[in-house]
Amino acid sequence: MPISSNRIGPYEIVAPIGSGGMGEVYRARDSKLGRDVAVKILSEALTSDADYIARFEREAQVLAALNHPNIASIYGLEDGAIVMELVEGATLADRIAEGPIPPAEALGIAKQIAGALDAAHEKGIIHRDLKPANIKVTPEGVVKVLDFGLATAAQVSPTASANPAASPTLTIRATQAGVIMGTAAYMSPEQAAGKPVDRRADIWSFGVVLYEMLTGRRLYDGETLSHTLAHVLTMEPDWTMLPKSTPAGARRLLQHCLIKDPKKRLRDIGDAWTIMDETEERGPAAQPPPARRSRYERIAWAIACLALLIALGIVARRHFSEQSSVARLSLLAPEKTSFVSRSHPTLSPDGRKLTFIVASETGTQLWLRDMDSLVARPLPGSSDANDPFWSPDSRFIGFFSQGKLKKVEVAGGPAQTICDAPQGRGGTWNQNGVIVFTPAGTEPLYRVAAAGGKPARVTELDPSHNERSHRFPWFLPDGRHFVYLARTRASEENAIYVGDLESKERKQIVAVDSSAIYVPQGFLLFVRERTLFAQPFDTGRIRTTGDPFPIAEQVDLDANNSKGDFSASLNGVLVYFSRGAGTAPLTWYDREGRPFGTLATRGGSSHGVAVSPDGATVAVDEADPSSGKFDIWLHVLARNTTTRFTFDPGQNINPVWSPDGGQLAFVSRRKGQWLIVRKSADGSGSEEILLTSPNSVVTHDWSRDGHYLVFGRMVDTIDLWVLPLSGDRKPFPYLATPFNEFAGKLSPDVRWMAYTSDESGRNEVYVQSFPTPRSKIQISTTGGSRPLWSRDGKELFYLALDRRLMAVEMKTGPKFEAASPKSLFPTGVSMALQNFDISPDGRRFLVPSPPAAETGAVPLTVVLNWPAALRK
């Protein structure tokens, strides 16, 4: 919560003390008792997040349950703020910054820390974020353990399954398997691997803190969070850094605490007291007086030294081998959001930050997460953002939104417009402040100054190769050359080229239908058949120098624009998004979201689903999981049979039924042309080509009277068109504006058109009269897409931006009336596809994935030190 005045209840705010990942701490004066206290307030950015509010309240409850001289006391809750004991003195991190702490003093501090942990563990509480910055030592030498914000109830059995010291705590959900909480340099290996934790995680952190006190240096300290996590998972402690004066018992204690396998680690922090007491009794390990050795003793000593050197060599080799290990982590979407089908995860060049696109109740937006931070945050001005890319110094993010190319500084501030880009398709930014980008889906590449200005063309489309677009550029290290994808009318002829800022010359590198990036380890990365490959590439000679190696499976690739959902940093961090092989089975749900039947599919992804007018058959376009080729299949529900409907070698998608159920119209992409085809539903007779277009088209609806076919056509933007099925059959534009209008559906009486438009800056559902558009009415109130009429025309359904299915009662006829939208149930339907439909009676909904919150739980995969996998 923000401080709107200098007072919270009876506490007068005096001065700020500090801030962390969850909140700010202030010194305050208790006007009733005349004492100074500490007041902890949840950060304003988190006050709307139920998860963090619960965690904040949990900290107060945890502190209230603990009464120990080495744990800061709580005085109460006041207006959402925690009022605590004010602990004077420096943090243990401040003390360590002055140099190593003498063993006797360090062990004295360690005993008090162990006492605090022992009291917490006795209450079944795990701290999970023990580090020097969370420990204070008063001027009187009393230790106080602070910040129980990540504390949690321990498992019943301990056997169940920039500056790291000051950095915010890293978290990816609570205590479930596959999540991480804690600060990287001090978390246990099981925490770093996202496994469940118990009190032995605190014991590991205790050992790390003791090691740091004795040595004056961190045990694990990588260049970035990613390196630090990798070190925690793979590297053994360097015991040679301990001072010679370290007592033998202290060494033994550290060795028991810092075992990577928690099953072999010290099981109870209370046992640390016993070992430390033994240390005080015995003192430092006795040093034998120098003695004159015999000749045989000297030979034995030499043999022992040689054996030690050999052993050290083996250990060193193993050590460096471990350093090159690959670590994989999962990263979930922020609370109350979900990754969209094109999440575009994008790492900053230094590997310290990550951007991605998520959907929430307010729409889709670009978010930023510092890789060592507790909190991800939305970036201002990035609603409906697409294709983010970084400045080379990792300070700015460029992206496309609302028909503009924009940039925003990650340190804060509003988004700034650079130039127009109606339908941006990727950008790249060099060290000289030049941005190369694609302004629209049928354009070559342009250059513009990052400060803004008039774009200038950099490449030319080659008509001899039927090129339709150049997109997704990526600068090579010299800042002059760049790789990009050239798309043609036939996806099998698409290829990666290298272009040049100073000439129009170019060179083909790889024949592949995918975006590509270059990483300084000497590889081009691209996707082929959902496998991410790394191919050796020589930037000096501008050519590949070896065969591609697979480095990740089931990586998402948007077949509509050839963009791969992956990214890599300069320092060996890789991130990609994958929803797994294929999609979830099509499932029937009632209006309350209760499932009652599943339609088995072939496991491939799908663009379109259409229920026949009599409800007996479902047409689905499905991709072959191995080849990626789309065909339309018919599922006869009563017989539970599935038959293939299209057989030509092209891509066949977006089926729509004729009103009598006797025919299907669909889109077929063949030899670089987009066709709208009509064919008998029983497979008899020959197909009829209704429309041929060089630009992409999508079939949306077949009017109830049989006279019109509604389709979308994209040039610079997506427009709604109508194809008459009688008379001269000349298609005409229904809505052609500077904005995107799509997903058009005609009312049963063919008087009204429902559609989606982004004219307001986000997708909303509108209704206008047909065939002449006028009397426009907005149906959705907080964003929406993909409208569907009930068969009787009394309801209109659509998807809200958070993917909830909404229903609106309607009155059509000459006068149109619409009630307020009502929420039915959450779905996992992609806003970009037409892959759901309703039954003729309007009581059942065919949805491709469960209508539950787990759709947002599909994680990003983060791979640390991925190039090491190529050496194995």
Residue 727 to residues 53, 591, 705, 816, Cα–Cα distance (Å): 64, 41, 15, 29
d(C-alpha 342, C-alpha 340), whole Å = 5
Amino acid at 442: T
What 3-state class would DSSP assign to 602?
A: coil
d(C-alpha 22, C-alpha 44), whole Å = 9
Amino acid at 139: P
Among residues 71, 143, 144, the alpha carbon closest in space to that of 105 is found at: 143
Length of the chain: 872
Write down the H helix ranges in 75-134. 92-97, 103-122
Annotated active-site residue in 30, 36, 79, 129: 129
Q: What is the DSSP letter of 677?
A: E
Cβ-contact 351, 869 below 8 angstroms: no
Residue 439 to residues 435, 487, 760, Cα–Cα distance (Å): 12, 15, 20
Enumerate residues 6+ apart whose C-beta is below 8 A from 55.
22, 149, 150
CA-CA-CA-CA torsion sign (789, 795, 799, 803): negative
What 3-state class would DSSP assign to 112?
A: helix
d(C-alpha 177, C-alpha 701), whole Å = 45
Amino acid at 751: R
CA dihedral 81, 87, 88, 89 (to 10 degrees): -120
Q: Which two tokens stand for residue 522?
A: 């000497």
Q: Give helix 103-122 / helix 270-282 axis angle, nearest 10°.
A: 160
Residue 181 to residues 108, 623, 704, 746, Cα–Cα distance (Å): 28, 39, 56, 51
d(C-alpha 238, C-alpha 738), whole Å = 63
Farthest CA pair distance, the chain = 115
Cβ-contact 765, 783 below 8 angstroms: no
Amino acid at 464: S
Beta strands in 385-502 (DSSP E): 386-390, 396-401, 404-409, 416-420, 427-429, 434-437, 446-449, 456-457, 467-475, 481-488, 495-500
129 in active site: yes
Among residues 400, 401, 395, 382, the alpha carbon closest in space to that of 431 is found at: 395
SS3 content of the chain, % helix, strand, coil (to 5): 20, 40, 45
Q: What is the DSSP letter of 674?
A: E
- Please give the backbone phi and psi of residue 443, each rounded to the nearest 5 degrees, phi first: -115, 160
231 phi-psi bin (left φ>0, alpha ψ -120 to 50, beta other): alpha
HEC per residue, 807-860: EEEEECCCCCEECCCEEEEECCCCCCCECCEECCCCCCEEECCCCCHHHHHCCE
Q: Which two tokens stand for residue 184?
A: 């990287």
Cβ-contact 65, 74 below 8 angstroms: no
Task: Identify how many contiguous H helices and E strands the chain contains and give both numbers.
Answer: 9, 66
Q: Which two tokens stand for residue 865?
A: 């030190």
Write down the H helix ranges in 498-623. none
The catalytic residue positions are 129
